[in-house]
Amino acid sequence: MTQALPAHTRRELEDTLRARYAQLREEVSRELLDQDQYDYSDVAGKVHDPGDESVADLISDLELAAIDRNVSEIRAIETALDHLADGTYGLCVDCGDTIAVERLKAYPTASRCIRCQERYEKDHGGAPPKL
């Protein structure tokens, strides 16, 4: 089996991924817990302007968006760890070329080489994903 990366680099990136994974898991469970404990009716009760209940909605939306981002990153890390396990980590999912080590060190969840990533972003428009 061809490995895209030397063993020590793989090990290093795996450590980074696992540490980040643990951190994100903790953040998400804390955010979910916070949300549970937060009394939104309290916020709405302190302000008297009609329509202020939407403040609680907004807070809720913002927190959900943060959780959502974290969950996407958790998924990306799980994928990267799978690829580490099956030996395809560091290979571009589009062209099969090796992804530059510098890129992997900056974005350990990168699944495309820089060339394919740029093409992907052009095809799909919008902001470039950092992962």
Interface map 80-99 toward Zn ion (x if CB under 5 A): ------------x-xx-x--
Region binding Zn ion by CB under 5 A among candidate stretches 31-39, 52-60, 71-79, 114-122: 114-122
Residue nearer to Zn ion on the CB measure, 4 or 113: 113
Output 78-81 pairs: Cβ under 8 A, ≥24 positions apart. Answer: 78/21, 79/109, 79/111, 80/17, 80/108, 80/109, 80/111, 81/14, 81/17, 81/18, 81/21
Report whether 100 contacts 114 (CB < 8 A).
yes
Question: Residue 96 CB, nearest distance to Zn ion (Å)?
Answer: 7
Which of 40, 116, 121, 131 binds Zn ion (CB under 5 A)? It is: 116
Q: Using CB atoms within 10 A of its CB, is residue 109 exposed (0-12), middle (13-18) or buried (19+)?
A: buried
Question: Residue 16 CB, nearest distance to Zn ion (Å)?
Answer: 22
Question: Residue 93 CB, nearest distance to Zn ion (Å)?
Answer: 8
Instruction: Give contact residues for Zn ion (rule: CB under 5 A).
Output: 92, 94-95, 97, 113, 116
